[in-house]
């Protein structure tokens, strides 16, 4: 194949941004790229000449042109590309398929990222889980944001649009406000002129009547209802167990947010480097306890909800959304004091008080040991570890409130083996190491997750 820069352009459809190229005549260049109707490939140049045997260099140049069009046009990643090609190229078809596949993946990662024109600094999140049908949580969230006019938002104009992540949240749009706080402290409510749900990218867009000002401070507030994801094990979800004493089935609510499920519990900018301070309030039935990343600061009655109280937690350190954690359940607490700066506790089912000794003791020893080894103090005043009956992973390193599958926190005397004991210590050590690797210091994006999960460091 010879590359011919003057070859004709192949483009279909009338909208240059959403043109559809379902087919081109194979006789013109030997290559047809088909895309499904609602998707497009933008503009690209056909670089193959009819009748010539394509070389692999030419194929790559063709595909680079396709890639260019991806990058320029901001095309959605789901393009279903089929490459029909002259039989002489059959041997290279797999090659082409993977190349296009990786271009798509690359584009997917970019297109699914939030625009960076609004940067969060503080969240105030209040959630009240309801432990009966329809198993929802009543939520209210305030998000403080700063506008950066220099942010690269690609082809999209976000000069007067707030873009948040949200997944399966039922917004009470009548309560939604966007406040503009001027440098002199004067607060003005901005006109909200519309909303847009981009279900594919899990974006919730709030369109305003006026543009942001550079460096301006804004607060988005809204009421909403989130699902308590029964049996889903992600977002804010329920888990059940049989209480040994009563034989009754008990239900608890807990969160699992890594990687992209904080947005199922509250609207947020759900990417690891968009760190902020979190002020959490969590409603609980009187019979239960509530926990979050930080200790409880105060407790209130909830005006119109008999039998519920609201726990207000101390403001968090600056942290990622995926590390926020919530727990509400009829559990007991066992605490050990090994430091005058923090305490370590295990939150457990009442019947498991004598099963969590090793996890509690090894957790405290390791927290102290890592402080010593890294020469960086654990910055939070407490570390809770909680065993969850229904849990997808072995453990999750939420900062200050680590969640575990039961088998990695509880040991039954006479039933657990030495291997089980070693597993508890190993998983506890792993999750506590994350309090530094991942929680204190976090990768910018998920492709560098190995920085968290790598098991080797040099002493």
Give me the residues that bind Zn ion (CB under 5 A), please: 453
Q: Which two tokens stand for residue 270?
A: 């759900």
Q: Is 431 in the active site?
A: yes
CA distances from 396 to 273, 278, 406 (A): 18, 18, 12
Taking the least distance from each CB to Zn ion, the nearer of 297 and 453 is: 453
Q: Which residues pair with 336 in a beta bridge?
A: 344
Taking the least distance from each CB to Zn ion, the nearer of 196 and 448 is: 448
Q: CB of 327: closest distance to Zn ion in angstroms?
A: 19
Q: What count of Cα atoms within 13 Å lies in the side-chain half-sphere of residue 371?
A: 14
Cα separation, 149 vs 147, whole angstroms:
6
Q: CB of 391: closest distance to Zn ion in angstroms?
A: 14
Whether 346 and 409 have beta carbons less than 8 Å apart is answered as yes
Taking the least distance from each CB to Zn ion, the nearer of 65 and 233 is: 233
Q: CB of 259: closest distance to Zn ion in angstroms?
A: 12
Q: CB of 286: closest distance to Zn ion in angstroms?
A: 35
The torsion region of residue 42 among left (phi > 0), alpha (psi -120 to 50) and beta comes to left
Q: Which two tokens stand for residue 335?
A: 């605490």
Taking the least distance from each CB to Zn ion, the nearer of 144 and 397 is: 397
Nearest-CB residue to Zn ion? 453
Cα separation, 261 vs 292, whole angstroms:
16
Concatenated DSSP letters of 234-298: SEEEEEEEE-TTT--EEEEEEEE-TTTTGGGTS-B--STT--BEEEEEEEEETTSEEEESS-EEE
Name the catalytic one among 28, 39, 431, 453: 431
Q: CB of 21: closest distance to Zn ion in angstroms?
A: 43
Taking the least distance from each CB to Zn ion, the nearer of 176 and 359 is: 359
Cα separation, 320 vs 437, whole angstroms:
13
Task: Please identify every residue annotated as catalytic.
Answer: 431
């Amino acid at each position: 194949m010879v590359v011919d820069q003057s070859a004709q352009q192949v483009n279909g459809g009338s909208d240059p941004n959403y043109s559809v190229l379902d087919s081109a005549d194979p006789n013109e260049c030997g290559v047809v790229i088909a895309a499904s109707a609602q998707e497009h490939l933008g503009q690209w140049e056909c670089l193959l000449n009819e009748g010539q045997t394509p070389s692999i260099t030419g194929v790559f140049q063709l595909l680079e042109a396709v890639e260019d069009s991806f990058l320029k046009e901001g095309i959605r990643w789901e393009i279903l590309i089929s490459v029909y090609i002259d039989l002489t190229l059959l041997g290279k078809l797999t090659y082409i398929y993977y190349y296009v596949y990786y271009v798509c993946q690359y584009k997917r990662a970019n297109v699914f990222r939030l625009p960076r024109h609004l940067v969060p600094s503080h969240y105030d999140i209040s959630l009240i889980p309801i432990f009966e049908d329809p198993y929802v949580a009543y939520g209210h969230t305030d998000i403080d944001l700063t506008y950066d006019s220099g942010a690269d938002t690609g082809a999209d104009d976000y000069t007067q649009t707030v873009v948040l992540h949200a997944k399966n949240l039922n917004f009470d749009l009548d309560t939604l406000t966007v406040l503009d706080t001027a440098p002199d402290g004067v607060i003005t409510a901005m006109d909200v002129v519309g909303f847009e749900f981009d279900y594919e990218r899990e974006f919730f867009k709030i369109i305003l009547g006026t543009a942001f000002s550079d460096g301006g401070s804004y607060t988005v507030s809204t009421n909403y209802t989130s699902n308590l994801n029964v049996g889903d094990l992600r977002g804010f979800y329920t888990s059940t167990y049989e209480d040994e004493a009563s034989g009754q089935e008990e239900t608890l609510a807990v969160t699992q947010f890594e990687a992209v499920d904080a947005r199922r519990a509250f609207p947020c900018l759900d990417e690891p480097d968009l760190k902020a301070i979190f002020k959490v309030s969590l409603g609980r039935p009187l019979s239960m306890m509530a926990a979050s990343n930080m200790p409880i600061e105060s407790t209130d009655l909830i005006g119109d909800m008999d039998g519920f109280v609201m726990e207000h937690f101390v403001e968090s350190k600056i942290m990622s959304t995926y590390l926020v954690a919530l727990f509400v359940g009829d559990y007991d607490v066992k605490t050990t004091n090994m430091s005058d700066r923090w305490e370590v506790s295990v939150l457990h089912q009442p019947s498991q008080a004598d099963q969590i000794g090793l996890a509690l003791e090894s957790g405290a020893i390791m927290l102290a040991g890592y402080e010593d080894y890294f020469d960086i103090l654990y910055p939070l005043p407490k570390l809770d570890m909680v065993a969850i009956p229904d849990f997808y992973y072995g453990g999750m390193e939420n900062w200050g409130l680590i969640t575990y599958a039961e088998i990695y926190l509880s040991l039954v005397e006479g039933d657990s083996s030495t291997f089980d004991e070693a597993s508890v210590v190993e998983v506890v050590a792993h999750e506590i190491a994350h309090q530094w690797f991942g929680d204190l210091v976090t990768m910018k994006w998920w492709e560098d997750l190995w920085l968290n999960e790598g098991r080797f460091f040099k002493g």
